[in-house]
Amino acid sequence: MACPLCNGIYTGRHICTCGTPLEDTGPVTDYYGPYSPYFNLSFEAPVCVHLFSCPACGRDRHVAVPVNNEN
């Protein structure tokens, strides 16, 4: 599976409720632990959930990005 955000193919543009563009801080699984991105890959949904953060107000937002299932 290939996430377009993780691979730099797509740069998602999301706006915070305060009007500031959100910054992609990476996949949510990166924050769980060192091996979490590789845990149960066969059972996961065909999305890569990214954490976007607002540099102005500090709000966070989870965004589910559809992945390309290339087998």
* pLDDT tens-place string over residues 23-62: 999 888 777 766 655 555 555 568 888 999 999 999 999 9
HSE-CB of 35 using CA atoms within 13 angstroms: 2
For residues 54 and 33, the answer to whether their CB atoms sit within 8 Å is: no
Give the count of domains, the chain.
1
For residues 12 and 63, the answer to whether their CB atoms sit within 8 Å is: yes
The whole-model pTM stands at 0.74
Domain limits for position 70: 1-71
Entry field: residues in the chain: 71
For residues 52 and 60, the answer to whether their CB atoms sit within 8 Å is: yes
CB atoms < 10 A from the CB of 67, how many?
18
User: pLDDT value at position 39?
Assistant: 56
One-letter amino acid of 12: G
